[in-house]
Amino acid sequence: MIQHYTDYLETLQQKGAYRQLRTTRSDGRFIYYQNNIYLNFSSNDYLGITSNATLKTDFLNTLNNKPDFVLGSTSSRLLTGNYQEIELLENMLARMYNREAALVFNSGYHANIGILPALTNKHDLILADKYVHASIIDGLRLSDAKCERFQHNNIEHLEALLQKHRANYKNVIIVTESVFSMDGDHAQLAALCDIKEKYNVLLYVDEAHAFGVNGNTGLGLCEETNCINRIDFIVGTFGKAIASCGAYVITNQVFRDYLINTMRPLIFSTAIAPINVLWTINVLNNFPYFSDERKRLVRTSEYFRNKLIAKGFEIKGCSHIIPIVCGENEKCVTLSEKLKLAGYWTLPIRYPTVPKGEARIRLSFRPDFSNDEIDTLLNILVNENN
């Protein structure tokens, strides 16, 4: 009986697609693995908050002043797990976005597999960008709605689908990421808002890789493009630039109430632990002070991107995520190993995370990479490319 599984794992190994867990230690900037130190180009710690000693000390001091603090939420929010701090965080988020309501979840994965199925039924249609994250795809699978994908970032194709289908469905929801996790490019949020208003449909935007980074105050690409009030569901996560865990949606009060009554991952899972929520609140309280990190992040990633382009690389995107597309899995794994030997932690991303034949090294930037560190990485990539 077990042979089937062993055979499958062997096939994965032959295809260069075998995944394994490595036991690592990290202080944010560096990864420590098997007695070696690597510069960490594979995390989503875009502002360097995991290793921010001041924030950490402040936070631990706050905990000392909370004698009633408990470590577990102990049940779903609908039972006994709806503690004060979780609502404090929701009120804080709603205020930051100047919108009616926010709802917090255990993770971005929970948000994406829960919100769309809760909001839709067989009379509805979901139109999702071709490159949306696996968690959104799983949400589409769990939904009873009809789902269609529009070509990546192609507003004309989206409009053609709306012209064809809008009249046949009760509600239609357009779904996109704002900064795409694997390509690092931006959705055209203003154009998507125009379209959603023109066809009287809803818009759902996953800001996982933009929250904390984009926009004057870090609220995301929706802030940078002045679209906050035009998007029906702004989803963000705390596990990336915020260096915590959990997620939220910014929406109106009716949708918040509706989700509380219908969203299965919210109803049927133990609420996120209070310590994570307190840490998230602590980080968000310091949000205004990260504008230097945001600027440095833009500078370091632009520096690298421009140099790569000058050396003849075709680089997708325009953000702190820079993919080096290698093509086949084996080529990508070999490049990753070479970079590892040179002290860079840059893991290969393969199918099904990205399309077949588009395996890549996904480089994610931090504000504290130096030009020297970036130049050395660049030289290795250029040598490999020749």
Helix (H, G, I), strand (E, B) or coil at 150: strand
Min separation Cβ 2 and ligand PLP, Å: 30
The residues near 112 (Cβ < 8 Å, ≥ 6 apart) are 133, 135, 136, 138, 139, 206, 235
Is the CB of 135 or the CB of 280 nearer to ligand PLP?
135
Structure tokens at 77: 């929010």
Min separation Cβ 236 and ligand PLP, Å: 9
Structure tokens at 384: 């490999």
Min separation Cβ 209 and ligand PLP, Å: 6
Is the CB of 234 or the CB of 378 nearer to ligand PLP?
234
What distance lies between CA 214 and its chain's CA centroid?
13
Among 143, 151, 114, 128, residue whose Cα is nearest residue 203: 128
Among 177, 221, 239, 182, residue whose Cα is nearest residue 45: 239
Helices (H), the chain: 3-14, 53-64, 84-97, 108-119, 134-142, 155-165, 189-198, 221-224, 253-262, 264-267, 274-285, 291-310, 329-341, 371-385
Min separation Cβ 133 and ligand PLP, Å: 4
Is the CB of 120 or the CB of 135 nearer to ligand PLP?
135
Q: Measuring CA to CA, how many Å separate 252 from each of 58, 99, 206, 231?
A: 33, 7, 16, 10
Is the CB of 199 or the CB of 279 nearer to ligand PLP?
279
Q: Tell me the residue number closest to ligand PLP, measured at CB.
A: 108
Min separation Cβ 246 and ligand PLP, Å: 7
Residues that bind ligand PLP (CB under 6 A): 107-109, 112, 133, 135, 177, 181, 206, 208-209, 237, 239, 247
Is the CB of 107 or the CB of 199 nearer to ligand PLP?
107
Q: Which position has the token pair 């070479």?
A: 338
Is the CB of 112 or the CB of 300 nearer to ligand PLP?
112
Min separation Cβ 42 and ligand PLP, Å: 12
